Amino acid sequence: MSGDRIYAPSLYFYGFELKNEGKPVETQQIYQHGEKLLNQSHCGAPSGSVGARASGVLKSPPETPQNTSETTQENPNMLRFFYEMTPQKSQSRFAHKIKIREKDYPVWGYANYQEIDQSYGLWFNLHIPEREAGSGKLLEVPIEIFREFSQNYPLIIDRKHENNTEDNTEGNLENFIGQTLLVTSLLTPEQKLQAKTDQKYLKSLSDLVLSELLTAIEIKPSFKGEGRLLGSPVFEYGLTANVTTIPHILIWFLVERQIEQVYQKCQREFFQLFFYSHQIVAVAVESEKKHDLIAEAYHNIHNQISQMERIGFDKNGCSNQVLECLWNQFGNFPQLALGYAELLRDLETLQEAIAFSRDRYQQTLQRIESLGIKDESSVKFLSRFIQKDAEICQKKLQSHVNKFKPGQFLLEQTISSMRGLIELAQLQRRRRLETQLQALAAGLGMAGIIAASLLYIIVPDRALIIPLINLSVHPFFASVILSLAMGFGTFSSVYKYLSKP
């Protein structure tokens, strides 16, 4: 037996998408992707498979034993497919065969589609029984089985590709949250022995499984870490805090058959764990987009304030042109403030979403332990995400909020200052106008008094002789000139007096 063979390989697909409010469930893209997976099993059997026949409808959640008497009684060349798709819940089972190295391997599977926290999730399973039908011998399966899985089933949701399909059958996956692929298999005795002598053996085997699974993917997820889950070694790839387009992959080598049974018992909880982890990452990615938008809004506000600083004022107030410019600038600020406040509120909402998902993730871990897994170290690997990645996401989002929240206060202060400045400028202009009117009234009054008094000084029928220049002026013009001169002098004196601070 070669080292590239394993027992009972199984692949679990978990995909999640935000609910599209106001539209039928059947329009959800993750729902349509699930139909593609099921149709690939039901209507068009994968290349290399043998036979295709529908045999019934499953009305309850599928049980997934990989070593039962049912596998020995079914015709190995017959595709069994159980199909039911409803708006709230979808559960299906199927089976077929795949040929690898001139040998047929029976492939079983099932699918489940459910609603979870204002989102929809799909999980889809492909697995090969542990023992051969009829003989009951352990079935050794080449690792190439994962390449066959990836070639025959659309296991990877490529949002960039799906969004640009010509027929647009998959639609826009902008609400897609993320996906996890979980690979499990039983190690052969030789592999267990080699793993004891070579600490890097299982890591290299995990990399081999990953390369077979992602042969058609250009950008492969990077190695994130390793540990032990339920007592068996597990290797993790992807699930970074700033990327939702690369799939999250777990490769889990089971040291005992019973571990798979424990996982089946907790599969719904694992489904929820993966959802909340992707939810946290998706929120972190969205927060970075909001950060860029609010940073741009802050820069725009800063430019508006800088333009105000270039508006000139003098000690006597501002001109009508300056006041009009100031008023136009002030008209832009309420809209800027509203947009800034909405972006800041979005950041705070995302902050609450991360906190909510973290709490749900922690509660789900506790439920897994309550289902019979008493050893905390058995799920410690799953706690790493909540203790490290989620903590980083939450702190980074908190820093974004703390960074831009003072900007809202400063913007409110700026608007208040501008309002006061405009009111002050208008008050100064009114005061200047009142002063001018008062001085003008005083000047006109003085001119009237002088004009009336000149009747007693100037003889109407005799020209007025101006001394020194010996110039004679008609009495009428002399009266007008003297009245205007005294009126203007009075206006200037009164205006200067009233204009004093």
- 354-395: pLDDT as tens digits: 999 999 999 998 888 887 665 656 788 888 888 888 888 889
Dump the DSSP string for 357-415.
Answer: HHHHHHHHHHHHHHTT---GGGGHHHHHIIIIIHHHHHHHHHHHHHHHHHHHHHHHHHH
Structure tokens at 231: 């007592």
**Which whole-number Å values give the CA distances from 84 to 42, 51, 57, 92, in the listed order?**
12, 21, 6, 6
Question: Does the reported pTM lie above 0.85?
Answer: no
What pLDDT does residue 142 have? 87
Look up residue 388 and give its amino acid. Answer: K
- Measured distance CA(270)–CA(382) in Å, rounded: 10
Give the residue-averaged pLDDT of 471-488.
65
* Contact call for residues 343 and 290 (beta carbons, < 8 A): yes
- 240-279: pLDDT as tens digits: 765 666 889 999 998 888 888 888 888 889 999 999 999 9
- Measured distance CA(212)–CA(190) in Å, rounded: 21
Give the residue-averaged pLDDT of 418-432.
70
- Measured distance CA(494)–CA(439) in Å, rounded: 5
Q: Which residues contact 247 (CB under 8 A, 6 or more apart)?
A: 156, 157, 178, 179, 180, 181, 221, 238
- 24-51: pLDDT as tens digits: 666 677 777 877 887 776 543 343 333 3
Q: Pick the range with the lowest mean pLDDT from 68-72, 193-197, 338-342.
A: 68-72
Structure tokens at 373: 């897994």
66 secondary structure, DSSP code: S
Q: Which of 109-113, 223-227, 405-409 has the highest mean pLDDT?
A: 223-227
Structure tokens at 275: 């959802």
Q: Which of 210-224, 289-303, 342-356, 358-372 has the highest mean pLDDT?
A: 342-356
What pLDDT does residue 46 have? 40
- 307-340: pLDDT as tens digits: 666 665 554 555 566 666 666 666 677 778 888 8
**Which whole-number Å values give the CA distances from 24 to 21, 86, 167, in the listed order?**
8, 11, 20
Short-list 278, 398, 298, CA closest to 341: 298
- Measured distance CA(468)–CA(463) in Å, rounded: 16
What pLDDT does residue 273 have? 93
Cα angle 145, 96, 137; round to 5 = 65
> Residue 347: pLDDT above 80?
yes
- Measured distance CA(300)–CA(292) in Å, rounded: 12
What pLDDT does residue 201 have? 92
- Measured distance CA(352)–CA(392) in Å, rounded: 15
Give the residue-averaged pLDDT of 441-449.
71
> Residue 190: pLDDT above 70?
yes
Q: Pick the range with the lowest mean pLDDT from 85-99, 220-234, 420-434.
A: 85-99
* Contact call for residues 336 and 442 (beta carbons, < 8 A): no
Q: Which of 67-81, 263-277, 436-450, 483-497 has the highest mean pLDDT?
A: 263-277
Domain parsing of the chain, residue ranges: 5-265, 282-429, 431-498
- The residue with greater pLDDT, 414 or 360, is 360
Give the residue-averaged pLDDT of 288-313.
78
Question: 448 phi and psi, to 5 degrees?
Answer: -65, -40
Structure tokens at 352: 């609450």
Question: 16 phi and psi, to 5 degrees?
Answer: -140, 145
What pLDDT does residue 374 have? 59
Question: 250 phi and psi, to 5 degrees?
Answer: -120, 130
**Which whole-number Å values give the CA distances from 480 to 364, 447, 451, 458, in the listed order?**
100, 9, 7, 12
Q: Which residues, listed in sequence order, are joined to residue 13 by a DSSP beta bridge?
A: 124, 181
What pLDDT does residue 372 have? 61
Give the residue-averaged pLDDT of 456-478.
56
What pLDDT does residue 482 have? 66
* Contact call for residues 234 and 182 (beta carbons, < 8 A): no
- The residue with greater pLDDT, 157 or 451, is 157
